[in-house]
Amino acid sequence: MRRVFALLISLGLILFFVNSLSILPEYGNVELSKVSNAYINKSVNGNNEKVKFGESKDLEDGAANVVTSIVVDYRSFDTLGEVTVLFTSALGVGLILHGFKRKTYGRLPNFILRVSVGILLPLILLFGVYVFVHGHLTPGGGFPGGTIIAAGILLLYLSNEEFDLSKTSKFVESYAGSLYIVVGLVGLAIGGVFLINFLPTGVVGDLFSAGIVPIVYILIGFKVGAELSGVIADLYREG
Amino acid sequence: MVYYISFILIGIGIYGILTQKNLFKFLVSLTIIDTAINIFIISLGYIEGKDVPIYSKYTPVANFVDPLPQALVLTAIVIGVGTLALGASLLVRVYEKYETLEVEEIAVKEARK
Amino acid sequence: MTALLIAIPLLTAFLFVPFKEKAKFILPIIVLINIVLLFNLSINSVEAMGGWKAPFGIVLVLDSASFYTLLVVNIIFLIISLIPQITENGFSILLLILLASTNGLILTGDIFNSFVFLEITAAAAYIIASLKKNYYGAYKYLIVGSIAGGFYLLGAIYSYVGTGSLNFADISLNLNSSFLPFVSLMLFIGLAVETKILPLAGWVPDVYASGSPLTPAILGTGVTFTMMYLLGRIFITIFNGYFLDVLYIFGLLTLILAEIAAFRQEKLLKALAFSSIAQAGLVLSTISLNTYDAIKAGYFHLLNDATAKIILFVIAATVVGNFMKNKTAGISFSIASFSLIGFPIFAGFRSKLLILQSSFEKGDYLLPTVLLFSTIIEAAYLLKWNVRLWHNENEETKQIPWNIVLITLILALLIIFIGIFPDLYLKVSENITDGLMNYKAYVTTVLGGM
């Protein structure tokens, strides 16, 4: 009986969504919205020239990756909130699992694991750093970069019983997050608006371009890396 | 077509939450719904024949798909991860307290208290 | 400058992670700074985050509605922060995050941004709900809340497709009318969990009755007030009254069903939790009458309810045994419950009277009937609990801290004061109503005279 009822509800829901297809644009045939157009042409504050890679200079936003320009510049306030969600859940995992001890097996982990972690770890960390440093130019950014770093930390946890990073990760998390807000407050002090891009934006496509975007993404990278490592450390315990 | 896939996935997720009796499966159903919504949002920004919204050597001039849904999905994914981590840690504690994850057995143990 | 209301608590929360235990002392100071800052801001200002004007960037809107809601919510946080005994170690930091996110939720003028703040609020709420080892209840809340969050996100995306932007004012002006039913239904599902509307309020009794005074005291007052404001902002300002008929029905159903459920409870905290659901339903159906007087009455009642609920929940969760040993706390409890029932000279009487008047003016007789019926049930169970707590055979008593007694007593005196001179609360609710109903002014302030 319960299953029939559930089936009816889910079917009704699917029907409701299918109904909405008549008002949605056809797949692959979407028109760019006015907001997205402005983001792509970087013309929110009225720039009418087309953006060209490697040539356009001193635009309102200098990130070559348009998604990054939205995430870290046009809608940076959302990203601050997003970082806070992750921060809250990392904190919550710590609070909820408070009092659990680290899981130990009392023997050395596998030889292959230990040696390969030694080889892989620098590469993984380097790749993570690359991803978040180049967040404004290539796909990626602080969130994927931080996640890759956290994956490296997970390997460390697996290969070394004594390894513990929870204190350090708390400090990194705390200071990276605070610095993000401080960057915003500096913008408030200089430009009169919270989170304003107060540095020169340079040429589209250069590594040193886009003003505060790379700085913020590096901070996010550290913060996400530290938070996810913290979550891993907290979940890798037993009562 | 992609729209249908995401709608059906949402339906599957809701069905799972309404019928399953294991707490862990709730979390799985929740993830299915999250993923379905993300697929749906991404597909709303797709324009046929256009490129990734990144200015590069190969795409020096704008001919891009809608970048805003992608940015929104990035946010939504991170929020989903946060919720998932919280849910998992709560489950660890629930299991510690009741020594089971079955809804009915927990109800029995709750009533006995 | 408006952004500081969010930035300061958030910065403090980030800075205090390594020393969680110290956050307890900083919380009241931060809330006070916020309130002082709030009075130095000019009303009817719009602040564009990062300097990107609406509808392209995210804007924070401070109009009379958001100003007074912020004031109310911040004062609630101040009251909670003055009773540090109910906050367990490390949870003060969560209150800081919750403060930042409710402030953001009230101020934001962007639908996706409101989703992000909704999720922060929810995440903090799940953790607070797990106090007193109430992990199962918190888990249920997490599942329901996340599904609702998903629907809210879908609603935001549909309004993006229908409008081409995510700004509230722009959505209100340009949303394609064929999108309206879908968007409003999804946003309603998204908000129904946090505003405690049946059938999505099943988590409330489990979470509120965990035995921790903090959980219901903050979630049932500050967060509920924020969510009710957001609901009013979306359905009254943005959609200009569309979809309110459906809300009206759901509100009435919630009111009557929850009162009956509250009557049948064996535990005081559970009864209060159901009563909290019922009051949310009453407020919802009152504001969905969509006249000036009705909305005013609705928010006035919400204020009264919040004041009474802080007292009721805090005392019910801390006092063990007989009220005869804790006379002051007992008197505060009785005053709060009389106000909830709506006896004359208590604040609840004023607001229930206003609700009746405004619905008669609208020519609506269903709401008064249901309200009177539910008041009878309410009176029955609250009086029963009062009698039980005053004449309790239970001898074991615990000394309750003086600051809880003092604060609840002050709030109880405030209830009587409002019952005789209701002008203070009426002014707040009038201003909230002004801001919510003045749809044209909102759109022109945000989009700048279009």
By CB atoms closer than 10 A (0-12, 13-18, 19+), residue B79 is buried
Strands C45-48 and A237-238: unpaired
Q: What is the pLDDT along chain B (113 residues), one digit of tens a residue?
A: 888 999 999 999 999 999 988 999 999 999 999 999 999 999 988 888 888 888 888 888 888 888 999 999 999 999 999 999 999 999 988 998 888 888 888 888 888 76
Per-residue pLDDT at C320: 66
Query: Which run of H or E residues covers position C175?
Result: none
Work out the pLDDT band at C441, boundaries 50, 70, 90: confident
Q: Do B97 and C135 touch (CB under 8 A)?
A: yes
Dihedral in degrees, nearest 10, Cα atoms C205, C207, C211, C217 = -100
Contact status, residue C118 vs residue C152, Cβ threshold 8 Å: yes
Collapsed DSSP state (helix, strand, coil) of residue B54: strand
Per-residue pLDDT at A203: 80
Chains in touch with C (3+ beta-carbon pairs under 8 Å) read: A, B
Per-residue pLDDT at C395: 61
Residue B110 contacts A, CB cutoff 8 Å: no
Cα B86–chain centre separation: 14
Chains in touch with A (3+ beta-carbon pairs under 8 Å) read: B, C
Cα C212–chain centre separation: 18
Bridge partner list, C108: C60
Please compute the mean of the pLDDT values over residues C93-118 and round it to a whole number. Answer: 92
Three-state SS across C253-312? Answer: HHHHHHHHHHHCCCCHHHHHHHHHHHHHHHHHHHHCCCCHHHHHHHHHHHHHHHHHHHHH
Chains in touch with B (3+ beta-carbon pairs under 8 Å) read: A, C
Q: Nearest Cβ partner of C126 from A33, A92, A167? A: A92
**At C265, phi and psi to the nearest 5?**
-75, 150
The candidate with the shortest Cα–Cα distance to C109, out of C44, C158, C161, is C44
**Cβ neighbour number for residue C47 with a 10 Å cutoff:** 20
Using an 8 Å CB-CB cutoff, list residues of chain C that contact chain B: 112, 116, 119, 123, 126-127, 130, 133, 135-136, 138-139, 142-143, 146-147, 149-150, 153-154, 156-157, 160-161
Q: Do C135 and A96 touch (CB under 8 A)?
A: yes
Give the structural domain span for B57: 2-112
Contact status, residue C403 vs residue C203, Cβ threshold 8 Å: no
Residue A73 contacts C, CB cutoff 8 Å: yes
Longest pairwise C-alpha distance within chain A = 67
Q: Do C154 and B83 touch (CB under 8 A)?
A: no
Residue A227 contacts C, CB cutoff 8 Å: no
CA distances A148 to A153, A169, A225, A237, Å, are 9, 15, 8, 22
Bridge partner list, A102: A237
Global pTM reads 0.94
Å from B71 to nearest chain C CA? 11
Q: Nearest Cβ partner of A35 from C55, C158, C185? A: C55
Number of structural domains chain B divides into: 1
The candidate with the shortest Cα–Cα distance to B103, out of A2, C107, A132, A78, is A2
CA distances C331 to A40, A79, C267, C321, Å, are 64, 48, 20, 15
The candidate with the shortest Cα–Cα distance to C145, out of A94, B79, B50, is B79
DSSP string covering C347-371: HHHHHHHHHHHHHHHHT--HHHHHH
Residue C160 with chain A: CB contacts under 8 Å: 33
pLDDT digits (tens, 9 = 90+) for A180-222: 888 888 888 887 788 888 887 878 777 777 788 888 888 999 9
Residue C394 has pLDDT above 70, yes or no: no
Residue A88 with chain B: CB contacts under 8 Å: 82
Residue C116 with chain B: CB contacts under 8 Å: 75, 79
Work out the pLDDT band at C450, boundaries 50, 70, 90: very low
Q: Nearest Cβ partner of A78 from C113, C160, C185? A: C113
The candidate with the shortest Cα–Cα distance to A224, out of A125, A160, A149, A117, is A149
Structure-block tokens of residue A238: 């037993």
Encoded amino acid at B87, one letter: G
The candidate with the shortest Cα–Cα distance to C121, out of B82, B94, A70, is B82
| ipTM exceeding cut-off 0.90 for this assembly | yes
Q: Do A51 and B62 touch (CB under 8 A)?
A: yes
Q: Nearest Cβ partner of C51 from A39, A75, A191? A: A191
Domain ranges of chain C: 4-445
Contact status, residue C30 vs residue C55, Cβ threshold 8 Å: no
Contact status, residue C90 vs residue A95, Cβ threshold 8 Å: yes
For chain A, residues with pLDDT lower than 50 are: none
Residue B63 contacts A, CB cutoff 8 Å: no
Crossing angle of helices C224-232 and C92-107, in 10° steps, is 10
Q: Nearest Cβ partner of A38 from C10, C56, C91? A: C56
User: Which residue is it, tokens 């007992």?
Assistant: C330
The candidate with the shortest Cα–Cα distance to B45, out of C57, A67, C153, C147, is A67
pLDDT digits (tens, 9 = 90+) for C174-221: 888 888 989 999 999 999 998 888 888 888 888 888 878 888 888 888
Per-residue pLDDT at C151: 93
Q: Cα–Cα distance between C424 and C429 in angstroms, integer?
A: 9
Collapsed DSSP state (helix, strand, coil) of residue C414: helix
Three-state SS across chain A? Answer: CHHHHHHHHHHHHHHHHHHHHHCCCCCEECCCCHHHHHHHCCCCCCCCCCCECCCCECCCCCCCEHHHHHHHHHCHHHHHHHHHHHHHHHHHHHHHCCCCEECCCCCCCCHHHHHHHHHHHHHHHHHHHHHHHCCCCCCCCHHHHHHHHHHHHHHHHHHCCCCCCHHHHHHHHHHHHHHHHHHHHHHHHHHCCCCCCCCCCCECCCCCCCCHHHHHHHHHHHHHHHHHHHHHHHHCEEC
The candidate with the shortest Cα–Cα distance to C250, out of C206, C320, C191, C311, is C191
Contact status, residue A129 vs residue A164, Cβ threshold 8 Å: no
Render the burial of B35-58: b for 16+ CB within 10 Å, e for the rest: bbbbbbbbbbbbbeebeebbbbee
Structure-block tokens of residue A95: 């609070």
Cα A53–Cα A54–Cα A56 angle in degrees, nearest 5: 80
Cα C297–chain centre separation: 15
List CB contacts of C154: < 8 A, sequence separation 6 or more.
B37, B40, C186
Q: Tally A–C CB contacts below 8 A.
A: 144
Collapsed DSSP state (helix, strand, coil) of residue C62: strand
Q: Do B14 and A10 touch (CB under 8 A)?
A: yes
The candidate with the shortest Cα–Cα distance to C14, out of C99, C113, C96, is C96
By CB atoms closer than 10 A (0-12, 13-18, 19+), residue B96 is middle
Contact status, residue C340 vs residue C306, Cβ threshold 8 Å: no
The candidate with the shortest Cα–Cα distance to C196, out of C263, C141, C237, C135, is C141
Cα A167–chain centre separation: 22
pLDDT digits (tens, 9 = 90+) for C108-120: 989 999 999 999 9
Residue B75 with chain C: CB contacts under 8 Å: 112, 116
CATH number for the domain spanning B14: value is 1.10.287.3510
Structure-block tokens of residue A132: 């978040």
Cα A144–Cα A148–Cα A154 angle in degrees, nearest 5: 140
Please provide the average confidence, as pLDDT, over all residues in chain C: 88
Interface-testing mutation among A27, A85, A196, with chain C (most C C-beta atoms within 10 A): A85
**Cβ neighbour number for residue A182 with a 10 Å cutoff:** 15
Contact status, residue C63 vs residue C433, Cβ threshold 8 Å: no
Å from A92 to nearest chain C CA? 6
Q: Do C58 and A75 touch (CB under 8 A)?
A: yes
Structure-block tokens of residue A170: 């708390």
The candidate with the shortest Cα–Cα distance to B81, out of C18, A168, A93, is A93
Q: Do C135 and B79 touch (CB under 8 A)?
A: no
Interface-testing mutation among A7, A40, A91, with chain B (most B C-beta atoms within 10 A): A40
Q: Do C139 and B82 touch (CB under 8 A)?
A: no
Cα C113–chain centre separation: 19
